[in-house]
Structure 1
Amino acid sequence: MRYDQEYLSIPNVVRRAAERYGDAPALVVGEVRWSFRDLERQMIQGVRAALALGIRPGDRVGICAPNSAEWIVAALGVQGAGGIVVPLNTRFKAAELAYILRKSGAKALLAAPFLGTDYVAELRKHDPELPALRTSVSILGPRGEADLTWPDFLARGAAVPEGAAHASIDRVAPDDVSDVMFTSGTTGHPKGVILTHGQSLRAYGWMAEEYTFRAGDVFLVIPPFFHCFGYKAGWLASFLHGVTVIPMPVFDAARALEIIDREKVSILLGPPTIFQDLINLPSRSRYDTSSLRVSMTGGTTIPEQLIRAMRDELSFDVVMSAYGLTESTALATTTRLGDGPETVARTTGRSIPDVEVRVVDGQGRPLPGGEAGEIQVRGFNVTRGYWEEPGATAAAIDVDGWLRTGDVGVLDTDGNLAVVDRKKDMFIVGGFNAYPAEIERLLLGYAPVAEASVIGVPDERLGEVGCAYLVLRPGESATGADVIAWARASMANFKVPRHVRFVDELPRNASRKVLKDELRTRFREDA
């Protein structure tokens, strides 16, 4: 089935699900249980509220909140009004959020206080005059510094007829932009990846079908909604197939096992650290995990013994791995039903339908199987480009439509892709992409630091973490603990280096480029 042609838009998925699944449970948050009909009613209320707020086709709206029912309604409301969702990482600090809101020209911000942070208050302090931003809404809890509370926002929608909301959804087409997802890059500033309704529907409708999602399944969604893993492989894929969604704002292994036991959760996707924590929890035997059926993990190296443990100790029947980047709608290859633990652990599977994956040498020439080179992707899943970044778009996507991923991989004789290195120096911390150039730029904001170079180093639990090699300014002093404390207050926690090394100078080549391989060697020798 071509899910883009069948469903047309993300909000229309909810209308169709209400027709098809009716009173079956769609969303469970604590004691609150919405049926698919309830979800449709909530969405229409959200669309009316977005229209009343003045959201029109093409307007960008930032959403910064933990996984919640309100996040979903906010996104569907904006998209149903023809707007474009800009998901914001809840771990970002004010400077990082302000950059994205300013770059995207966001007209409104829907935010929720989270882990002690009032995002609207922090933004007002940091950048009180974001030029395009007209309105802020607190979508959870008290108003704080926001202009409106969530009930205020929804109440405004009463002035918009329900028929106008449905008509607005009817106008949204598969080729319309659904979201601009900002991903950090090697330039040191995030770039906005443009994705459409049709791309998301086509990729994740197929994925969920391949992974055997079915009505009656229950999906505990742990990956954050600001990432495709939680948003598109999470609640969107679920609603397409009649699956009940339970959003989890913050991962806690004991709490997750309690929900799995009580709600008979059958689907759980996420980075390897989630499954390792569940398996290693001392009290795990107190919980019934026999309902678990479908899983997918990826984003970093997966030990084969973890795949086996997921099947043997957590009761999963289906264990998959996949590969993608935001620029490819976060899905390019995946393993298939019947693949053994070795294939799932050592490869990311074959390309998804109507998508090509190849490995090329430094001149862009395709390499035979077994030889390592840059991974390139072409197909319907490739982004239209970066938001207002034509130069970066041209550098990333060639004239023939091939996306240069910057990752290094090897294809085997069956077409399975193994990702073996990262050309761009990116490393992955517990499932989150961390980019050295961005972290280095932030570290240079710490007064004692004159030069910074960051590398990814192995970590038993998180897969990889950052190690910062720093040159201090003359006359300045600092300890590793000082640097880490400053970083925790200045950047998202997954970007914070876990290791700090002070050096008199950074190793450089004749063109003054830092020799990161030498730093990696130093770290291994020190370890």
Structure 2
Amino acid sequence: MFDLIPDMAAKRAELSGEALAFHDVQTGLDWSFRDVDAAANGAADALTSKGLKEGDRIACLTLNRAEFFVLLLACQKAGLILCPLNWRQPLAELVEVLGPVSPRLILHDDAFAVTATKLAEALSISCESFDQSAESWAAGRPGSVGMIPADRPWYLLFTSGTTGRPKAVIQTARMAWANAVNIGQAIHLTPADRSVNFLPLFHTAGINLYTLPVFLNGGGSKILPKFDAADLLDLLRSGEITQFFGVPAIYQAFSLSADVDAVDWAAIRCGCGGAPLPEPLIRSFAERGAKVLNGFGMTETGPTVFLMDEQYAEAKIGSVGRPQMLTECRLAGVPDGAAGEGEILLRGPNITPGYFEDPEATRAAFTADGWLRTGDVGLRDSDGFLRIVDRIKDMYISGGENVYPAEVERALFEHPDVLEAAVVGVPDPRWGETGVAFVLARPGQTIEPEGLRAWCRDRLAPYKIPAKVEVLDEFPRTAAGKVRKTDLRARMA
């Protein structure tokens, strides 16, 4: 990949001009690629006129809106670093997250004006509303296509914090282009495609699955403020959307809606990531005509690394596919290309250069020869397809035997009354560790814990059967919809 990359907004405006880049559902406004580039130029000028200079950080606290992408592209033009914030976090956590980043400005929407004001006061910096700022951005005009450094930090995404304090993962233009290639060729993106943006913009999926790759390929995106199952199903039912990406919790919510069968799923290319989509859910959508392609990626990988091939979607259920065009994959301890099981190691232009102002964490994340350690165990079959076994940190040892919670969770999910399951290992005086299963019941169903353990006896080795089953009303989750297993372990403690 090159050291310099064309300004993304300007180049897309040059190529696509009046074509639709964004339709903001909340405001009803359409944004052409020329509109986006002009506003991004105006935003870049407005920000630098405030004294902001290359490398300075800008925090952002907002629901999804078209102006976010204007701001993102303006930061690329001006060499500023955008820090999207998790609006689900309380003020104290936001202060802790932003402390090491030292932003100079916070931009916010009306929904988070109070929080942003208090956050700015705590950090002794200024804050502005998007609406206030956008007035000055409107004065922008399309400019020439300049070149930008491919590896210059562009924006920071904070890890979900499932294992401790969030780290600020550096994102670059090189990573964005590599992700656009990896996902674009895999799902055949074209300028005719229309996607929908609803996942939170402080998460890599909200930006990169698929909104930014669609933008870079000349397609358009509908922007919803946030996830709402009814609104999203209405949009999918309209027939306007050709590409859709969701995390498992989204597909689960769809499956419980009476409107799910009103969607022509065969007309939409569907992707899933963030966690494995359970086999029964894959099959239920396949019966509706949808081939949901499981994939794998991380904030540190831009994120697309693996994606299932459409022709093998049903034959290889449970797999996340093969590594895409611009990513190399190794399994620790397994000969290159051979079938086997080991930690997934990755290398390529889509990999982050590291964590912002955290050289120790950066060193720990990479091997001595430059491969990113994912912390995930992968099982590669003889055809090169990979299955995620589990997170290394989630594995526990019971009576000397390794137990991967994901395997136990798959068995639990097959029970007709179980909506979702999460398993964690906890200390045990006799066995060292044993498993505790937390489950959600399907609407209208009741789960009897001992009955569920009996169900497991027919499907799992004795040491894998959870010693205890707890039925919950809901799971603690990250912004990406992943279950916070640290919270579940703390509950047992």
TM range (shorter): 0.7 to 0.9
User: Is 1:358 matched with 2:330?
Assistant: yes
- What's the counterpart of residue 423 of structure 1? 392
Q: How does 1:509-520 map to 2 (within 5 A)?
A: none
CA RMSD of aligned residues (A): 3.7
Q: 1:176-325, aligned counterparts within 5 Å?
A: 176-185=152-161, 188-262=164-238, 264-285=240-261, 287-289=262-264, 292-313=267-288, 315-316=289-290, 319-325=292-298
- 2:170 maps to a residue whose letter is I
Q: Is the 8 A contact 2:301 2:352 kept in 1?
A: yes
Q: Answer whether contact 1:52 1:157 (CA < 8 A) is retained.
A: no
Show CA shifts across 1:300-353 (max 9, x none).
Answer: 22223323333442x44x53221111122222222224223242x311111122
Residue pairs, 1:38-187, within 5 angstroms? 38-114=35-111, 118-123=114-119, 128-130=121-123, 134-139=125-130, 150-151=131-132, 153-156=133-136, 166=143, 170-185=146-161
Q: 1: CA distance between counterparts of 2:437 and 2:491?
A: 16
> What SS class does the counterpart of residue 277 from structure 2 fall into?
coil
Q: What is the alpha-carbon distance in structure 2 between the residues aligned to residue 425 and residue 290 of structure 1?
A: 34
> In the alignment, residue 248 of structure 1 is paired with which amino acid?
L
What is aligned with 1:517? none
Contact 2:345-2:374 within 8 A present in 1 as well? yes
Please say if 1:338 is aligned against 2:311: yes
Query: Residues 104-138 of structure 1, C-alpha deviation per residue, up to 9 Å, x if partnerless?
Result: 12121112244x773214425xxx342xx632122
2:321 to 301, 324, 349: 349
Supply the AA of the counterpart residue of 1:353: M
Check 1:455–1:157 CA distance in 2 against 1; reply closer, same or farther (3 A cut).
farther
Residue in structure 1 matching 2:300, options 313, 327, 332: 327
Paired AA for residue 324 in structure 2? I
What residue identity is the alignment partner of 1:85?
L
The SS at the match of 2:238 is helix
CA distance in 1, matches of 2:485, 2:296: 25
Structure 1 residue ranges without an equivalent (≥5): 140-149, 429-433, 437-453, 462-479, 507-527
Equivalent-residue separation in structure 2 for 1:79 and 1:495 (angstroms):
33
Distance change in 2, residues 1:176/1:157 (3 Å): same
Distance 1:275 1:47, change over 3 A: same
Structure 1 letter corresponding to 2:278 = P
Give the SS at the match of 1:172.
Answer: strand
Residue matched to 1:407 = 376
**Structure 2: which amino acid aligns with 1:106?**
P
> Cα–Cα, structure 1 residues 388 and 28, in superposed 2: closer, same or farther, change >3 Å?
same
Any conservation in 2 of the 1:112–1:118 contact (CA below 8 Å)?
A: no
Partners of 1:412 and 1:494 lie apart in 2 by 28
Of 355, 360, 367, which aligns to 1:398?
A: 367
- Equivalent AA in structure 2 for residue 79 of structure 1: Q
Shift of 1:360: 1.7
Distance 1:493 1:105, change over 3 A: same
How far apart, in 1, do the equivalents of 2:349 and 2:11 lie?
Answer: 23
Secondary structure of the equivalent of 1:282? coil
User: What residue is the counterpart of 2:414 in the other structure?
Assistant: none
- CA 1:372–1:246 in structure 2 vs 1: closer, same or farther (change >3 Å)? same
Output one character per residue of 1:61-114: Cα deviation in whole Å (capped at 9) or x when no partner.
112211111211121222221111112112111122112221112121112244
SS of equivalent to 1:424: helix
CA contact (8 A) 2:182 2:326 kept: no
Which amino acid in structure 2 is aligned with residue 119 of structure 1? T
Unaligned runs of 5+ in 2: 396-404, 407-421, 425-434, 443-469
- Higher mean displacement: 369-378 or 394-403: 369-378
How far apart are the structure 2 equivalents of 1:460 and 1:13?
A: 46
Aligned residue type for 2:321: G
Corresponding residue of 2:23: 28
| Aligned-partner Cα distance in 2 for 1:96–1:350 | 37
CA change 1:191–1:278 in 2 (3 A) is: same
Cα offset, 1:273, TM superposition: 2.1
TM-score, normalised by the number of residues in structure 1: 0.71
Letter in 2 for 1:323: F
Match for residue 453 of structure 2? Answer: none
For residues 473-517 of structure 1, give each alpha carbon's deviation from its aligned partner in whole angstroms, at most 9, with x where no partner exists: xxxxxxx9xxx9xx99xxx997598869877xx5xxxxxxxxxxx
- AA matched with 1:39: V
Number of equivalent positions: 427
TM normalised by structure 2 equals 0.76
SS in structure 2 of the partner of residue 377 of structure 1: strand
Q: Residues 164-195 of structure 1: CA distance to partner in whole angstroms, max 9, x if unpaired?
A: xx47x725221211112111457621111122
SS across alignment from 1:276: helix
Q: In the alignment, which residue of structure 1 is the partner of 2:457? A: none
CA 1:421–1:58 in 2, change beyond 3 Å: closer, same or farther? same
- 1:194 alignment partner, SS class: strand
Inter-partner Cα distance in structure 2 for 1:500 and 1:198: 38
Q: Equivalent residue for 2:11?
A: 16
- Alpha-carbon contact 2:339-2:384 (below 8 Å) kept: no
Q: C-alpha distance in 2, partners of 1:496/1:304?
A: 21
Seen in structure 2, the aligned counterparts of structure 1 residues 401 and 185 have a Cα distance that, compared at 3 Å, is: farther
Shift of residue 401 of structure 1?
A: 0.5
Task: Describe the SS at the equivalent of 1:8.
Answer: strand
- Kept in 1, the 8 Å contact 2:40–2:140? The answer is no
1:279 deviation in Å?
3.3
